[in-house]
Structure 1
Amino acid sequence: MGNVIMGHADLISNKERGNSLFLIVLILIVAVFLFGFFGLAAFLKRRDRNRTVDDLTRFMFSHPERFSLTIIQNDQILLNHNGSKMFPLASTVKILFLLAFVHEVRKNQISFNDTVSIIEIDKFYIPNTDGGAHDNWKSKENIGQTVTMKEVLIGMMRYSSNACTDYIYLRVGKDNIQKIIDKYLPDNHTPVFSINSSMLVAPYLKKYKKKKTKEISGYMKEMKQKYFMDISGETFDALVHGKAAPLISSLPSANHIEIQKEFTRKLPSSSSENYASLMYRLGTGDLLSEVEKGLLDEITGPPNPQAENRIWYKGGSTLFVMTSAIFKETASDSISLAFFIEDMNRLDMLWIDHVYQPFLQKITTEPLFRQQLIADLKDKL
């Protein structure tokens, strides 16, 4: 009997040792995996931090299909790589919102000096969706309880506040913004809508269409553009009337990266040749009066402009695209450019984000860099 008990005990002991050994091996495997994962993450972060403008130019040579760049100087198109290719614009489309506002001022429908309570702007604010743009505008511009429309436009253009943008969209009206597109960019431009409220389409689908989070990206991918825009209109109305809180609160749970990718693809889209041409015409032509150009200097130019130079800029980005349109004028040159780049896998966008602005700075301010880049792109692509 004792031998039976001892044998049974040995079996239990062996089983426990086996389980313990398995657990130790499993822990070691997990530890090695975590060490490797975080080690790789640290390496990639360090590598990305050391990327330069030269890395971006090499990326452009290696992936010519993933960017478009149009450069116009002194009435000549110097480069038009993938100029007609359509890209999601992100916040660069806000240029058209500003132009629509200028046209409404001409018709005496609105004024740059009109005032509005900041409460009316803040009701369009969706937390954690604009990279701090709205808060930066309020703090750096010392925004009080009442703001002028000019200050709201600065919030939209210089700081890229989406809340300011939605308020301009409300005051100017979708139809009037669309008229600007039809007038100035009749080709290769998809219809405009509220890009701020469209971020609430995913939680709308989750709440009202009972879609599970894992289903939403696929559903959005197959969704007709008009349906997406219609829902964006409903969520915009919810923001206007203070009824969007349930959608805003559920946004974090309906904001998976695949959903954001499909959201990006639904945004208003156009081409670099469209936006480079528009910026050049605005700066050098008679589309704007000299007074209006002066106002654009104040609204979309740098906070402390150089007296001898004029520079207008608007850029935009999502996790998957970066876009920009620029006009610069000096005593000797007029130059415009539009540079759009996409990375739907997001493997490169993490580091491109760090060098994108330095690249734009070099291409607009350093003639030798610009000339060499144009020559290299024409030669290699």
Structure 2
Amino acid sequence: MSIYTWIGIGIFAFFTLLPLKSAKNLSKWDIIGIVITMVTLVVIIIAHIFYSFNLWIGIAVLFILAILLDKKTYTKKMIVIYACMFIVIGGVVYWLLGDLFGKTDSDIVLEHLIENPETTSLYFAKEGEVHISHNDEEVRPLASVVKIMVALEYAFQVEEGKVDPATIIDLDDLNVYYIPQTDGGAHEAWIESLETEQPTLQEVAKGMIKFSSNANTEYLMDLLGLDAINNRMEELNIENHEEVYPIVGGLAISSYLKEQENLSNKDLINRLNEMSMEEYRSLAIEVSQQLKFKQFAVTDASKISMDIQRIWSDRLIGASAATYGNILSSVSNNEFSPSVTNTLRDILEWPLVHESNQQKFHHIGKKGGSTAFILNQTIYVETKNGERMEMVIMLDDLSMLQSLTLQKNIDFFLFKLIEDEEYLETVNQKLS
């Protein structure tokens, strides 16, 4: 939490406890109310620090608690006032977030694409023919979609005998890259899914894609070699793709600089903004190595402010939607060798564990990527009729509200493109 948050908490606690100065004038109800409020405040702080509980929700809880603990609330007049107030607030919230509670609506995504051409891309191909190419050559931050590129290099190195997918991996070697409260519980969810505490390298690669574990990704980047990944892109003529560098190392840069240079949050933001991309990548590599050899660790991810997260998000590895559409097409159409294709399918086609997908598709591979400001999704399918389709959607510069609404509807939108020819044509016309 920032110093301003702590100051706000201190002021709230001070005024909550101030009436105790004249405790003899307080009723038992008043004292109970103060105790309940302070206990709730402590619980909210602990929940925020250790479980990333949203402070705005905490403020709302304290506001409602203050109303419930106020004896004046229980007069006929105040009950009517508060009831009207909650109805109005509830109506506004539902108007803003209504689609989060209602049915999915593909048009929400379409409208966002139409209204925000400068920050959105959509690529859709069917049977080798591109049907939609909405800003698909623009380079945008990939977030976790870049893990497809790591999986691609892994598949090639398996074929070349440089790595063995059956190699047992020590979880301690992975966990050095894990920064709690930064991946939505992805890494922990992957570990919980394992049947043994000694996963194979293939299971690490699967965890990178299905669960989107950043720690697994960083481990594989180091094992395979950043130069090897970047050289493979050149060898395969993959264009419109920025140089790959460590994701976790990049996220940890702010904590590293704070520790090394003792910077204030304002100075840190200025330092990051002034840094060239070349310097930033080099520092991300250095920090990643420091994490690997346990010479540095991020102990409190809550200190990574939204301003700093925005800089990290904007500086993430970028590529175009068309670039990843072509990569997906190469997998879906078996353009790589059988060995590379089989390895990639085993990693990417995790959605086939669901019976509903098994009924619709022979093949379906999927990898998304998101930050607080980015929402990306990539999918390739081969239907039961043998039709092959690839799609990539990239949405950047999102507000929290936009991110929430689009997350709920993005898959519905993409699968409607797959299943509804008429809707596909409508989208194509509106984005042309």
Change (3 A) 1:47 1:278: closer
What amino acid is aligned across from residue 260 of structure 1 in structure 2? Q
Aligned to 1:340, the other structure's residue is in SS state: strand
CA distance in 2, matches of 1:181, 1:294: 19
What amino acid is aligned across from residue 191 of structure 1 in structure 2? E
Aligned to 1:338: 392
Give the conservation status (yes or no) of the 8 Å contact 1:315–1:324.
Answer: yes
Give the conservation status (yes or no) of the 8 Å contact 1:96–1:180.
Answer: no
In the TM superposition, residue 244 of structure 1 has moved relative to its aligned partner by: 2.5
Aligned to 1:226: 278
Larger radius of gyration between Structure 1 and Structure 2: 1
Aligned to 1:63: 116
Aligned to 1:21: none
Identify the match of residue 299 of structure 2 among 234, 249, 254: 249
CA distance in 1, matches of 2:137, 2:240: 7
Aligned to 2:108, the other structure's residue is in SS state: helix
Aligned to 2:243: 191
What amino acid is aligned across from residue 261 of structure 1 in structure 2? R
In the TM superposition, residue 130 of structure 1 has moved relative to its aligned partner by: 0.8
Q: Deviations over 1:130-188 (max 9, x none)?
A: 11111211223x34221111100110011101111111112111111111222235432
Q: Deviations over 1:237-257 (max 9, x none)?
A: 122112322xx114322x111
Identify the match of residue 267 of structure 1 among 316, 330, 338: 316
What amino acid is aligned across from residue 61 of structure 1 in structure 2? I
Aligned to 1:146, the other structure's residue is in SS state: coil
CA distance in 1, matches of 2:231, 2:251: 24
* 1:295 and 2:343 aligned: yes
Change (3 A) 1:208 1:137: same
CA distance in 2, matches of 1:375, 1:288: 37
Give the conservation status (yes or no) of the 8 Å contact 1:276–1:337.
Answer: yes
Give the conservation status (yes or no) of the 8 Å contact 2:313–2:371.
Answer: yes
Aligned to 1:249, the other structure's residue is in SS state: coil
Give the conservation status (yes or no) of the 8 Å contact 1:185–1:274.
Answer: no
Aligned to 1:22: none
* 1:144 and 2:201 aligned: no
In the TM superposition, residue 59 of structure 1 has moved relative to its aligned partner by: 2.1
Aligned to 1:348, the other structure's residue is in SS state: helix
Identify the match of residue 282 of structure 1 among 326, 331, 335: 331
Aligned to 1:158: 210
Q: Deviations over 1:23-64 (max 9, x none)?
A: xxxxxxx999xx799765576344544462222212222222
CA distance in 1, matches of 2:126, 2:145: 21
What amino acid is aligned across from residue 132 of structure 1 in structure 2? G
Structure 2: 5+ residue stretches without partners: 1-65, 68-80
Alignment TM-score, normalising by the size of structure 1: 0.83
CA distance in 2, matches of 1:175, 1:41: 49
What amino acid is aligned across from residue 147 of structure 1 in structure 2? P
CA distance in 2, matches of 1:332, 1:183: 30
CA distance in 2, matches of 1:303, 1:244: 39
Aligned to 1:369: 423
Q: Deviations over 1:169-208 (max 9, x none)?
A: 1211111111122223543211101112211011112111
Give the conservation status (yes or no) of the 8 Å contact 1:157–1:314.
Answer: yes
Change (3 A) 1:184 1:347: farther
CA distance in 2, matches of 1:195, 1:100: 16
Match runs of 1:1-381 below 5 Å: 44-46=96-98, 48-50=100-102, 52-140=105-193, 142-245=194-297, 248-253=298-303, 255-289=304-338, 291-301=339-349, 302-304=351-353, 306=358, 309-330=362-383, 331-378=385-432
CA distance in 2, matches of 1:53, 1:158: 24
In the TM superposition, residue 364 of structure 1 has moved relative to its aligned partner by: 3.0
Aligned to 2:40: none
Give the conservation status (yes or no) of the 8 Å contact 2:187–2:213.
Answer: yes
Aligned to 1:329, the other structure's residue is in SS state: strand
In the TM superposition, residue 359 of structure 1 has moved relative to its aligned partner by: 2.0
CA distance in 1, matches of 2:135, 2:158: 35
What amino acid is aligned across from residue 190 of structure 2 in structure 1? W
Give the conservation status (yes or no) of the 8 Å contact 1:118–1:144.
Answer: no
How well do the aligned residues superpose, as a CA RMSD in angstroms? 2.5
What amino acid is aligned across from residue 206 of structure 1 in structure 2? K
Give the conservation status (yes or no) of the 8 Å contact 1:49–1:351.
Answer: no
What amino acid is aligned across from residue 249 of structure 2 in structure 1? S
Identity of aligned residues (%): 24
CA distance in 2, matches of 1:337, 1:364: 9
In the TM superposition, residue 326 of structure 1 has moved relative to its aligned partner by: 1.9
Change (3 A) 1:132 1:366: farther
Number of aligned residue pairs: give it. Answer: 343
Change (3 A) 1:362 1:136: farther
Aligned to 1:196, the other structure's residue is in SS state: helix
Give the conservation status (yes or no) of the 8 Å contact 1:202–1:251.
Answer: no
In the TM superposition, residue 350 of structure 1 has moved relative to its aligned partner by: 2.7
Give the conservation status (yes or no) of the 8 Å contact 1:69–1:81.
Answer: yes
What amino acid is aligned across from residue 404 of structure 2 in structure 1? L
CA distance in 1, matches of 2:126, 2:140: 23
What amino acid is aligned across from residue 257 of structure 2 in structure 1? L
What amino acid is aligned across from residue 422 of structure 2 in structure 1? L
Change (3 A) 1:156 1:102: same
CA distance in 2, matches of 1:198, 1:179: 21
What amino acid is aligned across from residue 431 of structure 2 in structure 1? L
In the TM superposition, residue 295 of structure 1 has moved relative to its aligned partner by: 3.0
Change (3 A) 1:159 1:367: farther
CA distance in 2, matches of 1:227, 1:38: 48
What amino acid is aligned across from residue 146 of structure 2 in structure 1? V
CA distance in 1, matches of 2:413, 2:373: 18
